[in-house]
């Protein structure tokens, strides 16, 4: 039987956030062996464990499947897009009214 392969970046997240295996074991009250096996990709993870780890690390669950650099770049991109959209001037002449656009004029 082949050992499970994990496509997540838990080790990289721990390094980025300066956490250790012992921190997870202690703070989440997980067995040390469980933490070690998960980090090495030798134990399958569950939705509950992903959600618990993500909450503990203060990240979104899907970000565990991304390298921290990629996740942070996407966060910055999203924040910049929201900022640009909120600062964009509104053109009242093109607002939708009753399902049709008003014509400037």
Burial (Cβ within 10 Å: 0-12, 13-18, ≥19) of residue 65: middle
* Domains by residue range for the chain, with CATH: 9-86 (1.10.260.40)
62, 23 in Cβ contact below 8 A?
Answer: no
Q: Report how far residue 98's alpha carbon sits from residue 7's, in angstroms, rounded to the nearest whole number.
A: 48
Instruction: Using DSSP, state whether 103 is helix, strand or coil.
Output: coil
pLDDT tens digit at each of 105 positions of the chain: 555 456 789 999 999 999 999 999 999 999 999 999 998 888 888 899 999 999 999 999 999 999 999 999 999 999 999 999 998 787 765 555 555 555 555
């Amino acid at each position: 039987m082949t050992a499970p392969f994990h496509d997540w970046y838990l080790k990289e997240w721990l390094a980025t956030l300066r956490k250790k295996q012992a921190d997870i074991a202690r703070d989440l009250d997980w067995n040390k062996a469980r933490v070690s096996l998960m980090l090495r990709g030798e134990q399958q993870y569950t939705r509950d464990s992903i959600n618990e780890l993500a909450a503990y690390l203060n990240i979104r669950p899907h970000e565990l499947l991304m390298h921290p650099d990629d996740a942070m770049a996407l966060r910055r991109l999203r924040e910049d897009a929201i900022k640009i959209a909120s600062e964009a001037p509104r053109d009242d002449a093109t607002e939708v009214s009753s399902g049709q656009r008003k014509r400037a004029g």
